[in-house]
Amino acid sequence: MRRMLQAVPIGVIAVAAVFVTSVPASAAPLAGTPDTLTYVALGDSYAAGQGGGNYLNSCLQSPAGYPALLDAEPKIKLVSNLACSGATTADVIAQAQKVPRGTKLVTVTVGGNDLQVGAIAGACLLQADPAACVALIGQANYLLENDILLDSLLETYRAIAAAAPKAQIVVTLYPTLFPLSTSDPREAEINASTL
């Protein structure tokens, strides 16, 4: 349980599409065939595949992560996996600057670290520290209720769209960690952030 909680942070917000004005990217153009989707993965530990084992680097990218699984699909070519465990929206904005021009598909998972979901899981479930749990959930709720995280996410999506103006951008969600029927109020509180 402890390993799973550290490996898969929970998130809150999904934006299906973001329409922004494109601006030139500084990255070099991609060479590829017209029938192949050149693909770049951005994001945090969930995007990197932390928890999947056989890590490839210090970002805890795993060959069991969804970027590698998508790369195995016909006509999708992963040209860069920039996802890194611990990444926040600010980190993903920096990742976006490395997206090669001409990329056709970008996936992104981000937001859980902005909310300190790993710390919430630790305080609320693993350490059972009620005071820290309440304080951390309060901080996360503040970011949500005041649209601070939403603003950060929108800024992140705009940066990605500017770096890859011809790409389809897919924002992936986080899973719920516990059964929806859980009777544990701590588990229910954590699940509620993903619904």
pLDDT computed for residue 28 by the predictor: 42
- Looking at the DSSP bridge assignments, the partners of residue 107 are 41, 170
pLDDT in tens, 97-144: 999 989 999 999 999 999 998 898 888 887 778 899 889 989 998 999
Quick one: three-class SS letters along 128-165? CCHHHHHHHHHHHHHHHHCCHHHHHHHHHHHHHHHHCC
- Using an 8 Å Cβ cutoff, are 67 and 41 in contact? yes
Q: Look up residue 4 and give its two tokens.
A: 């799973």
Q: Which domains does the chain have, with CATH numbers?
A: 2-21+34-192 (3.40.50.1110)
Please state, as a whole number, how many other Cβ atoms lie within 10 Å of the Cβ of residue 194: 17
Q: How far apart are CA 145 and CA 84, in angstroms?
A: 27
Q: Which is higher by pLDDT, 9 or 99?
A: 99
| Beta-carbon-side half-sphere exposure of residue 18 (alpha carbons within 13 Å) | 25
pTM of the model: 0.79
> Residue 149: what pLDDT?
95
Residue with tokens 């951390």: 136
Bridge partners, 109 (sequence order): 43
Over pLDDT 70: what percentage of the chain?
Answer: 81
Reported as a pLDDT band with limits 50, 70 and 90, residue 29 is: very low
Alpha-carbon distance 48 to 61, whole Å? 4
Cβ atoms 99, 40 nearer than 8 A: yes
Give the mean pLDDT of 5-27: 30
Which residues share a beta bridge with 161? none
Give yes or no for a contact between 129 and 123, defined as CB atoms under 8 angstroms apart.
yes
Task: Show Cβ contacts of residue 13 under 8 Å, excluding neighbours closer than 6 positions.
Answer: 111, 144, 149, 150, 153
**Tens digits of residue pLDDT in 49-105:** 999 999 999 999 999 999 999 999 999 999 999 999 999 999 999 999 999 989 999
Q: How far apart are CA 147 and CA 12, in angstroms?
A: 12
